[in-house]
Structure 1
Amino acid sequence: MPDFAKQGPIVIGGVGGSGTRLIAEIVMDMGFYLGGMLNQSKDLLYFSLLFKRPTWFSKVVTSNEQEIFRGLKILENRLTTQKELTGKDIKFIEKAAQTYRNGDLLAQKIKKNMLFPDPINRQLYRGWGWKEPNAHLFLPYIHRYFPNGKYIHVIRNGLNMAFSKNQQQLFNWGPLFGVTIPNNPMKIPNASLTYWIKANERAVMYGTEQMKGRFLLIQFDQLCVNPTPQLQKLAEFLAVDDLAIDEWSEKIDPAAAASKYKEAD
């Protein structure tokens, strides 16, 4: 049997609200381990704790990118071998827990779980990875640390996204893309669409140019309207031969592709 630790990672990301949860559920059905501590959206909370920290990211990306690789090293450890952490690793986790969500109860709960994770039954899975929408922001670093890893980018109708209630990425990361957060709520959709364009362009350009054969773009709206081609493409990308198209299709709601933006001004 292939070494579980070497069969990954499979990373799923996209602008918040793109449909990454659906892809994660299907990938899990295909037999991949996407972590033991997930929220309702199937986000790996380990990744959120370590990396969903805009102020920290803006500092280390220019001064000490090795900190990003340390975070990825810890993530790999917790999702695969679960070997004993070093003192520096533990200190990194503790500091992340203090800054993530201002060190609230959830942050402390995630930290405790990372330090004392539940064991993984590797025999149940064909490989490992994680889903966290914000992963696309770290794609170049993920690729450099895991040169044999694979990344799935989910993209959804930008106009629907602009009028979505899920604008957390815009508020967290918009300034990194030169997008000013408006004080006037009426101007949020314009800023959201600008962020959507810039964030997706960055991820798709990097993936197609630097990760040939290891980058997959899933069009969420096409998946909802005509699931089979997108599901076959996903299975082929992950080298899954035992197809269960009908079973996976049951998770898909065609109505999710509706052009809700037409109801807006």
Structure 2
Amino acid sequence: MMSMIDHGPDPTQTPIAVGAIGGSGTRVVARILKGAGVFMGTRLNESEDNLDFTERFRHREVLALPDGAFEARLRQFEGLSRAGMREAGQRHWGWKEPNTHVVIDRILAAYPKMRYVHLLRSGLDMAFSANQRQAWFWGPYFLERPVAEPPGPRDMLAYFCAVHRRISALADRPENRGRVLFLQYEALCARPEAEIVRLLDFLGLEPAQPVATLAALIAPPASIGRHREHDLSVFDPADLAYLKQTQPAP
């Protein structure tokens, strides 16, 4: 059981967080930020997920945690991150964990100067992704109904739209304007240097490596456009209409 502390996170800190629906390509964003001199954690898995964050926040119980208990976990995580940053001799800290978006509203409130990057991939491509765990795990919360295990394409797209609506509304709040960046994965693959410059400008970072070196980390996968091989009539027309309004055609 994690020990609780009686003070919250340091509101003067400026962490950088990266979240998304699982399978959106966040690994390459984490590597770009590491290449730009951001300490992204000590305990990372092969996908560059920060396991110190995962252990504290990828639990359904976290949704009902009182503010004090939530802030205690966040302060613990902050302490580990800042200690690792100092040991690495770096000046910025952050993390990548796709599930971050689930609790990002509370984290943004705790750190008024932080920045959040939400990676977006084509909703239609994501609907046919084999990476379905997040939609199953959090789907009942976002969709307010049961979700099959594994979820089918219809539920995957419904989950995508629900998450996008929530993060868009969060980004539009007056206190969050200019603090949330939507980064389109397909654009990052098609125009890597331009999108990396946009990302670093948003974060106020000077790259520790040439932008061309960071761009070389990006390798567009063959799965881009995979929805073209499937029948789209399985989807809720309302979700397709929302997608058409909010995402450029893949």
TM-score range, shorter chain: 0.7 to 0.9
Q: Is the 8 A contact 2:36 2:206 kept in 1?
A: no
C-alpha distance 165-51 of structure 1, shift in aligned 2 (>3 A): same
Gaps of 5+ in 2: 1-10, 232-250
* CA distance in structure 1 between the partners assigned to 2:85 and 2:62 by the alignment: 30
* CA distance in structure 2 between the partners assigned to 1:71 and 1:30 by the alignment: 27
Report whether the alignment pairs 1:238 with 2:197: no
TM-score (norm 1): 0.76
- Specify the SS of the correspondent of 2:99: helix
Q: Which residue of 1 aligns with 2:43?
A: 37
- Specify the SS of the correspondent of 1:27: helix
- Cα offset for 1:156? 0.4
- Specify the SS of the correspondent of 1:39: coil
Report whether the alignment pairs 1:68 with 2:70: yes
Larger mean Cα displacement after TM superposition, 252-261 or 14-23: 252-261
Report whether the alignment pairs 1:224 with 2:212: no
Identity %: 32
* CA distance in structure 2 between the partners assigned to 1:126 and 1:29 by the alignment: 13
Deviations, residues 94-132 of structure 1 (Å, cap 9, x unaligned): xxxxxxxxxxxxxxxxxxxxxxxx784252x23001110
Report whether the alignment pairs 1:196 with 2:160: yes
- Cα offset for 1:6? 5.7
- Cα offset for 1:252? 1.1
Deviations, residues 194-239 of structure 1 (Å, cap 9, x unaligned): 0000012111220232422221110111111111221111111122
C-alpha distance 246-195 of structure 1, shift in aligned 2 (>3 A): same
Q: Which residue of 2 aligns with 1:152?
A: 117
C-alpha distance 257-250 of structure 1, shift in aligned 2 (>3 A): farther
Report whether the alignment pairs 1:50 with 2:56: yes
CA RMSD of aligned residues (A): 2.1
C-alpha distance 7-68 of structure 1, shift in aligned 2 (>3 A): closer
* CA distance in structure 2 between the partners assigned to 1:144 and 1:256 by the alignment: 38
Q: Is the 8 A contact 2:181 2:202 kept in 1?
A: yes
* CA distance in structure 2 between the partners assigned to 1:8 and 1:26 by the alignment: 18
Deviations, residues 59-103 of structure 1 (Å, cap 9, x unaligned): 32xxx232211111111111114xxxxxxxxxxxxxxxxxxxxxx
- Specify the SS of the correspondent of 2:152: helix
- Specify the SS of the correspondent of 2:43: coil
Aligned length: 218
Q: Is the 8 A contact 1:225 1:257 kept in 2?
A: no
Spell out structure 1 runs of 4+ moving beyond 6 A.
Answer: none
Gaps of 5+ in 1: 82-117
* Structure 2 letter corresponding to 1:182: A
Q: Is the 8 A contact 2:135 2:156 kept in 1?
A: yes
Q: Which residue of 1 aligns with 2:7?
A: none
Q: Is the 8 A contact 1:163 1:261 kept in 2?
A: yes
Q: Which residue of 2 aligns with 1:25?
A: 31
Deviations, residues 130-153 of structure 1 (Å, cap 9, x unaligned): 110000111111011111111111
* CA distance in structure 2 between the partners assigned to 1:221 and 1:234 by the alignment: 14
